[in-house]
Amino acid sequence: MNICHLTTTHPANDARIQRERHSSELGCHCTTLFEGIAPGYPKWQHPFKIFDLATRAFARKSEMYHCHEPDALGIALFLKALRGSRVIYDVHEHWPSELPRDLGAPAWLSRIIDPVERWLAQRADAVIVVSESVGHRFPNAIVLPNYPDPLPPQSLDNDIPLRSFSIIGAKLHTYHIQNGLDAVTRLQTHWPETRLTLVGTLASPLPVDAPITYTGYLAQSVIPPVLRQAGVGLVLMSPEYENIRIGLPNRLFSYMAAGIPVIASALPEIERIVAETSCGVLVQPDDIDEIVEAAFWLDEHPTEAREMGERGRQAVASRYNWHAVEDKLYKCLTDLVEKE
Protein backbone atom coordinates (compact mmCIF):
# COMPACT_ATOMS: atom_id res chain seq x y z
CA MET A 1 0.00 0.00 0.00
CA ASN A 2 1.09 3.52 -0.82
CA ILE A 3 0.62 5.95 2.13
CA CYS A 4 1.16 9.69 1.73
CA HIS A 5 1.68 11.74 4.90
CA LEU A 6 0.15 15.20 4.50
CA THR A 7 1.12 18.01 6.87
CA THR A 8 0.77 21.78 6.90
CA THR A 9 2.86 22.56 9.98
CA HIS A 10 5.20 19.63 10.75
CA PRO A 11 8.59 19.17 9.00
CA ALA A 12 9.61 15.94 7.31
CA ASN A 13 11.97 15.18 10.21
CA ASP A 14 9.22 15.43 12.84
CA ALA A 15 9.91 12.55 15.23
CA ARG A 16 6.33 11.24 15.31
CA ILE A 17 5.96 11.28 11.53
CA GLN A 18 9.32 9.58 11.10
CA ARG A 19 8.41 6.84 13.56
CA GLU A 20 5.03 6.26 11.91
CA ARG A 21 6.57 6.06 8.46
CA HIS A 22 9.29 3.69 9.63
CA SER A 23 6.78 1.44 11.42
CA SER A 24 4.43 1.40 8.42
CA GLU A 25 7.23 0.43 6.05
CA LEU A 26 8.74 -2.29 8.24
CA GLY A 27 5.69 -3.64 10.06
CA CYS A 28 3.07 -3.40 7.31
CA HIS A 29 5.29 -3.42 4.22
CA CYS A 30 3.83 -0.11 3.05
CA THR A 31 5.47 2.51 0.88
CA THR A 32 5.31 5.92 2.56
CA LEU A 33 5.58 9.33 0.94
CA PHE A 34 5.69 12.82 2.41
CA GLU A 35 4.13 16.08 1.26
CA GLY A 36 4.29 19.15 3.48
CA ILE A 37 4.59 22.92 3.54
CA ALA A 38 8.05 24.33 4.25
CA PRO A 39 8.03 26.78 7.20
CA GLY A 40 9.07 30.41 7.20
CA TYR A 41 6.48 32.09 4.97
CA PRO A 42 4.08 34.97 5.84
CA LYS A 43 0.75 33.79 7.26
CA TRP A 44 -1.24 35.49 4.50
CA GLN A 45 0.30 33.06 2.01
CA HIS A 46 -1.16 30.02 3.76
CA PRO A 47 -4.21 29.60 1.46
CA PHE A 48 -1.89 29.54 -1.56
CA LYS A 49 0.39 27.03 0.17
CA ILE A 50 -2.63 24.84 0.91
CA PHE A 51 -3.61 24.91 -2.77
CA ASP A 52 -0.07 23.93 -3.76
CA LEU A 53 -0.07 21.08 -1.23
CA ALA A 54 -3.42 19.86 -2.55
CA THR A 55 -2.01 19.86 -6.09
CA ARG A 56 1.01 17.81 -5.01
CA ALA A 57 -1.15 15.40 -3.02
CA PHE A 58 -3.43 14.93 -6.04
CA ALA A 59 -0.42 14.05 -8.18
CA ARG A 60 0.68 11.35 -5.73
CA LYS A 61 -2.37 9.13 -6.43
CA SER A 62 -1.92 7.43 -3.06
CA GLU A 63 -4.20 4.70 -1.74
CA MET A 64 -4.11 6.23 1.75
CA TYR A 65 -3.51 9.71 3.16
CA HIS A 66 -2.23 10.11 6.72
CA CYS A 67 -3.02 13.70 7.77
CA HIS A 68 -1.58 15.66 10.68
CA GLU A 69 -3.68 18.86 10.83
CA PRO A 70 -7.30 19.86 10.13
CA ASP A 71 -6.46 21.63 6.86
CA ALA A 72 -4.44 18.64 5.66
CA LEU A 73 -7.44 16.49 6.54
CA GLY A 74 -9.64 18.69 4.37
CA ILE A 75 -7.34 18.05 1.40
CA ALA A 76 -7.37 14.29 2.01
CA LEU A 77 -11.16 14.13 2.31
CA PHE A 78 -11.46 15.95 -1.03
CA LEU A 79 -9.17 13.32 -2.59
CA LYS A 80 -11.18 10.58 -0.90
CA ALA A 81 -14.34 11.90 -2.54
CA LEU A 82 -12.59 11.94 -5.93
CA ARG A 83 -10.76 8.62 -5.75
CA GLY A 84 -11.98 6.66 -2.77
CA SER A 85 -8.62 6.87 -0.98
CA ARG A 86 -8.47 5.87 2.68
CA VAL A 87 -7.86 8.69 5.19
CA ILE A 88 -6.25 8.65 8.65
CA TYR A 89 -6.47 11.76 10.80
CA ASP A 90 -3.58 11.94 13.29
CA VAL A 91 -4.29 14.50 16.03
CA HIS A 92 -1.08 15.76 17.65
CA GLU A 93 -2.56 18.87 19.26
CA HIS A 94 -5.73 20.38 20.68
CA TRP A 95 -6.24 22.41 17.53
CA PRO A 96 -9.22 24.54 18.68
CA SER A 97 -6.94 26.24 21.21
CA GLU A 98 -3.65 25.98 19.30
CA LEU A 99 -4.74 27.43 15.95
CA PRO A 100 -6.02 30.79 17.24
CA ARG A 101 -2.72 31.26 19.09
CA ASP A 102 -0.66 30.32 16.02
CA LEU A 103 -2.67 32.72 13.85
CA GLY A 104 -2.73 35.54 16.38
CA ALA A 105 -6.53 35.35 16.25
CA PRO A 106 -9.10 35.84 19.04
CA ALA A 107 -9.61 32.85 21.36
CA TRP A 108 -13.33 32.72 20.51
CA LEU A 109 -12.32 31.29 17.12
CA SER A 110 -11.92 27.95 18.94
CA ARG A 111 -15.72 27.71 19.16
CA ILE A 112 -15.80 27.53 15.36
CA ILE A 113 -12.75 25.32 14.87
CA ASP A 114 -13.97 22.67 17.32
CA PRO A 115 -17.18 21.59 15.53
CA VAL A 116 -15.57 21.93 12.09
CA GLU A 117 -12.68 19.67 13.10
CA ARG A 118 -15.05 17.10 14.61
CA TRP A 119 -17.19 17.12 11.46
CA LEU A 120 -14.14 16.53 9.26
CA ALA A 121 -12.80 13.80 11.58
CA GLN A 122 -16.08 11.89 11.38
CA ARG A 123 -15.47 11.48 7.65
CA ALA A 124 -11.99 10.00 8.05
CA ASP A 125 -11.60 6.22 8.00
CA ALA A 126 -9.64 6.24 11.26
CA VAL A 127 -8.64 8.81 13.89
CA ILE A 128 -5.38 8.49 15.81
CA VAL A 129 -4.75 10.73 18.83
CA VAL A 130 -1.64 11.45 20.82
CA SER A 131 -3.28 11.09 24.26
CA GLU A 132 -6.52 10.31 26.09
CA SER A 133 -6.96 14.01 26.85
CA VAL A 134 -6.73 14.98 23.18
CA GLY A 135 -8.85 12.00 22.13
CA HIS A 136 -11.93 12.55 24.25
CA ARG A 137 -13.34 14.78 21.49
CA PHE A 138 -13.21 11.96 18.93
CA PRO A 139 -15.34 8.81 19.44
CA ASN A 140 -13.50 5.51 18.80
CA ALA A 141 -10.13 7.24 18.42
CA ILE A 142 -6.98 5.12 18.63
CA VAL A 143 -4.60 6.43 21.29
CA LEU A 144 -1.05 6.26 19.92
CA PRO A 145 1.15 8.13 22.42
CA ASN A 146 4.13 10.16 21.28
CA TYR A 147 6.60 7.95 23.12
CA PRO A 148 10.34 8.05 22.30
CA ASP A 149 12.41 5.40 20.59
CA PRO A 150 13.61 2.49 22.76
CA LEU A 151 16.61 3.29 24.94
CA PRO A 152 20.01 2.58 23.38
CA PRO A 153 22.76 1.06 25.52
CA GLN A 154 24.23 3.85 27.65
CA SER A 155 26.46 4.40 30.63
CA LEU A 156 24.75 6.18 33.52
CA ASP A 157 27.60 6.02 35.99
CA ASN A 158 28.08 9.74 36.65
CA ASP A 159 26.32 11.29 39.62
CA ILE A 160 23.42 13.74 39.23
CA PRO A 161 23.95 17.29 40.58
CA LEU A 162 20.75 17.96 42.49
CA ARG A 163 21.37 21.71 42.81
CA SER A 164 21.34 22.31 39.07
CA PHE A 165 18.48 22.06 36.59
CA SER A 166 17.71 21.68 32.92
CA ILE A 167 14.99 22.37 30.38
CA ILE A 168 15.08 20.62 27.02
CA GLY A 169 13.19 21.46 23.83
CA ALA A 170 13.78 21.64 20.10
CA LYS A 171 12.55 25.25 20.21
CA LEU A 172 12.30 26.81 23.63
CA HIS A 173 9.72 29.55 24.16
CA THR A 174 9.70 31.95 27.10
CA TYR A 175 6.47 30.44 28.44
CA HIS A 176 8.26 27.06 28.77
CA ILE A 177 11.21 28.59 30.61
CA GLN A 178 10.00 31.39 32.86
CA ASN A 179 8.86 29.34 35.86
CA GLY A 180 12.14 27.44 35.92
CA LEU A 181 14.17 30.62 35.58
CA ASP A 182 12.24 32.29 38.40
CA ALA A 183 12.79 29.28 40.67
CA VAL A 184 16.52 28.98 39.90
CA THR A 185 17.00 32.73 40.43
CA ARG A 186 15.40 32.42 43.86
CA LEU A 187 17.46 29.32 44.68
CA GLN A 188 20.65 31.30 44.00
CA THR A 189 20.20 33.03 47.35
CA HIS A 190 20.71 29.61 48.98
CA TRP A 191 22.89 27.90 46.36
CA PRO A 192 25.03 30.53 44.58
CA GLU A 193 26.41 27.89 42.23
CA THR A 194 23.04 26.76 40.86
CA ARG A 195 22.46 26.99 37.10
CA LEU A 196 19.70 26.34 34.58
CA THR A 197 20.87 24.57 31.43
CA LEU A 198 18.75 25.12 28.31
CA VAL A 199 19.12 22.34 25.74
CA GLY A 200 17.89 23.56 22.37
CA THR A 201 17.36 26.75 20.41
CA LEU A 202 15.70 29.76 22.00
CA ALA A 203 12.65 31.17 20.25
CA SER A 204 12.81 34.47 22.20
CA PRO A 205 15.58 36.21 24.14
CA LEU A 206 16.07 36.01 27.90
CA PRO A 207 17.96 38.36 30.27
CA VAL A 208 21.69 38.31 29.59
CA ASP A 209 22.51 38.18 33.31
CA ALA A 210 20.26 35.17 34.02
CA PRO A 211 21.94 32.09 35.61
CA ILE A 212 21.60 30.15 32.37
CA THR A 213 23.84 27.92 30.28
CA TYR A 214 22.85 27.44 26.63
CA THR A 215 23.83 24.34 24.69
CA GLY A 216 22.19 25.15 21.36
CA TYR A 217 21.24 22.25 19.11
CA LEU A 218 22.55 18.84 20.20
CA ALA A 219 22.44 15.50 18.44
CA GLN A 220 20.00 13.11 20.08
CA SER A 221 22.77 10.67 21.02
CA VAL A 222 24.58 13.17 23.28
CA ILE A 223 21.53 14.57 25.08
CA PRO A 224 21.23 11.93 27.88
CA PRO A 225 24.74 12.50 29.31
CA VAL A 226 24.29 16.28 28.98
CA LEU A 227 21.03 16.08 30.94
CA ARG A 228 22.65 14.01 33.69
CA GLN A 229 25.43 16.60 34.03
CA ALA A 230 22.86 19.43 34.02
CA GLY A 231 20.86 18.06 36.96
CA VAL A 232 17.15 17.84 37.74
CA GLY A 233 14.76 18.01 34.77
CA LEU A 234 12.08 20.72 34.81
CA VAL A 235 8.67 20.36 33.14
CA LEU A 236 7.03 23.50 34.47
CA MET A 237 4.26 24.18 32.00
CA SER A 238 1.83 27.01 32.69
CA PRO A 239 -1.68 26.13 31.43
CA GLU A 240 -2.03 29.32 29.40
CA TYR A 241 -4.40 27.60 26.99
CA GLU A 242 -5.95 24.17 26.56
CA ASN A 243 -3.30 22.63 24.32
CA ILE A 244 -0.66 23.21 27.01
CA ARG A 245 -2.96 22.18 29.86
CA ILE A 246 -3.59 18.73 28.39
CA GLY A 247 -0.24 18.33 26.62
CA LEU A 248 2.36 15.66 27.28
CA PRO A 249 5.72 17.22 26.35
CA ASN A 250 8.41 14.98 24.91
CA ARG A 251 10.98 16.50 27.27
CA LEU A 252 9.45 14.54 30.15
CA PHE A 253 10.44 11.26 28.49
CA SER A 254 13.88 12.65 27.62
CA TYR A 255 14.53 13.29 31.32
CA MET A 256 13.21 9.87 32.25
CA ALA A 257 15.38 8.20 29.60
CA ALA A 258 18.42 10.01 31.01
CA GLY A 259 17.64 8.64 34.47
CA ILE A 260 17.23 12.00 36.23
CA PRO A 261 14.43 13.04 38.61
CA VAL A 262 11.93 15.66 37.46
CA ILE A 263 10.02 18.54 38.96
CA ALA A 264 6.83 18.77 36.92
CA SER A 265 3.57 20.71 36.73
CA ALA A 266 0.56 18.77 37.99
CA LEU A 267 -1.31 18.98 34.67
CA PRO A 268 -3.45 16.01 33.56
CA GLU A 269 -1.15 14.03 31.22
CA ILE A 270 2.11 15.02 32.92
CA GLU A 271 0.70 14.15 36.35
CA ARG A 272 -0.47 10.75 35.10
CA ILE A 273 3.01 9.71 33.93
CA VAL A 274 4.87 11.08 36.96
CA ALA A 275 2.38 9.50 39.37
CA GLU A 276 2.44 6.13 37.58
CA THR A 277 6.24 5.93 37.65
CA SER A 278 7.16 7.93 40.79
CA CYS A 279 9.90 9.55 38.72
CA GLY A 280 9.73 12.99 40.30
CA VAL A 281 7.90 15.63 42.28
CA LEU A 282 4.66 17.28 41.16
CA VAL A 283 4.02 20.97 41.78
CA GLN A 284 1.20 23.38 41.03
CA PRO A 285 1.77 25.37 37.84
CA ASP A 286 3.15 28.87 38.43
CA ASP A 287 3.71 28.27 42.16
CA ILE A 288 7.37 29.28 42.46
CA ASP A 289 7.40 28.65 46.22
CA GLU A 290 6.34 25.05 45.63
CA ILE A 291 8.95 24.58 42.91
CA VAL A 292 11.67 25.85 45.25
CA GLU A 293 10.45 23.57 48.06
CA ALA A 294 10.55 20.59 45.65
CA ALA A 295 14.16 21.45 44.79
CA PHE A 296 15.06 21.59 48.49
CA TRP A 297 13.38 18.23 49.09
CA LEU A 298 15.33 16.50 46.31
CA ASP A 299 18.59 17.96 47.59
CA GLU A 300 17.81 16.81 51.14
CA HIS A 301 16.84 13.30 49.96
CA PRO A 302 19.55 12.37 47.42
CA THR A 303 18.94 8.63 47.60
CA GLU A 304 15.23 9.01 46.89
CA ALA A 305 15.98 11.51 44.12
CA ARG A 306 18.30 9.13 42.31
CA GLU A 307 15.81 6.28 42.74
CA MET A 308 13.20 8.49 41.07
CA GLY A 309 15.52 8.94 38.11
CA GLU A 310 16.16 5.22 37.84
CA ARG A 311 12.43 4.42 38.01
CA GLY A 312 11.83 6.84 35.17
CA ARG A 313 14.55 5.23 33.05
CA GLN A 314 13.17 1.75 33.66
CA ALA A 315 9.67 2.92 32.76
CA VAL A 316 10.84 4.27 29.39
CA ALA A 317 12.75 1.05 28.75
CA SER A 318 9.74 -1.16 29.46
CA ARG A 319 6.54 0.83 28.75
CA TYR A 320 6.91 4.35 27.49
CA ASN A 321 8.68 3.73 24.20
CA TRP A 322 7.53 3.57 20.59
CA HIS A 323 8.04 -0.18 20.17
CA ALA A 324 5.61 -0.80 23.05
CA VAL A 325 2.74 0.97 21.22
CA GLU A 326 3.41 0.72 17.49
CA ASP A 327 1.25 -2.41 17.21
CA LYS A 328 -1.73 -0.04 17.42
CA LEU A 329 -0.60 1.55 14.16
CA TYR A 330 -0.14 -1.88 12.55
CA LYS A 331 -3.68 -2.88 13.51
CA CYS A 332 -5.15 0.38 12.24
CA LEU A 333 -3.49 0.00 8.85
CA THR A 334 -4.37 -3.69 8.59
CA ASP A 335 -8.02 -3.01 9.41
CA LEU A 336 -8.23 -0.31 6.74
CA VAL A 337 -6.66 -2.57 4.11
CA GLU A 338 -9.12 -5.35 4.94
CA LYS A 339 -12.06 -2.96 4.46
CA GLU A 340 -11.17 -2.46 0.80
User: Averaged over 29-55, what is the pLDDT?
Assistant: 93
Span of 61-75, 94-108, 171-185, 270-284 with lowest mean pLDDT = 171-185
Which band of pLDDT confidence, cut at 50, 70 and 90, is reported for residue 316?
very high
The top-level CATH class assigned to 165-318 is alpha beta
Q: Cβ neighbours of residue 271 under 8 Å, at least 6 residues apart?
A: 264, 265, 282
CATH homologous superfamily of 2-145+325-338: Glycogen Phosphorylase B; (3.40.50.2000)
Q: Cβ neighbours of residue 182 under 8 Å, at least 6 residues apart?
A: 288, 291
Indicate if the pLDDT at residue 19 is higher than 90.
Answer: yes
Model pTM score: 0.91
Which band of pLDDT confidence, cut at 50, 70 and 90, is reported for residue 217?
confident
Which band of pLDDT confidence, cut at 50, 70 and 90, is reported for residue 165?
very high
User: Averaged over 76-89, what is the pLDDT?
Assistant: 96
Span of 70-74, 210-214, 283-287 with lowest mean pLDDT = 210-214
Indicate if the pLDDT at residue 40 is higher than 80.
Answer: yes
Q: Cβ neighbours of residue 67 under 8 Å, at least 6 residues apart?
A: 5, 6, 7, 73, 75, 76, 87, 88, 89, 90, 124
Domain ranges of the chain: 2-145+325-338, 165-318
Do residues 174 and 240 lie in contact, with contact meaning Cβ atoms separated by under 8 Å? no
User: Averaged over 223-249, what is the pLDDT?
Assistant: 92
Asked if the domains 2-145+325-338 and 165-318 are classified in one and the same CATH topology, the answer is yes
What mean pLDDT, rounded, does the chain reach? 92
pLDDT of residue 154: 64
Residue 64 to residue 48: CA distance in whole angstroms: 24
User: Averaged over 128-150, what is the pLDDT?
Assistant: 94
Q: Cβ neighbours of residue 250 under 8 Å, at least 6 residues apart?
A: 15, 146, 148
Find residue 198's DSSP bridge partners: 167, 214
Indicate if the pLDDT at residue 155 is higher than 70.
Answer: no
Do residues 153 and 224 lie in contact, with contact meaning Cβ atoms separated by under 8 Å? no
pLDDT over 90, % of the chain: 75
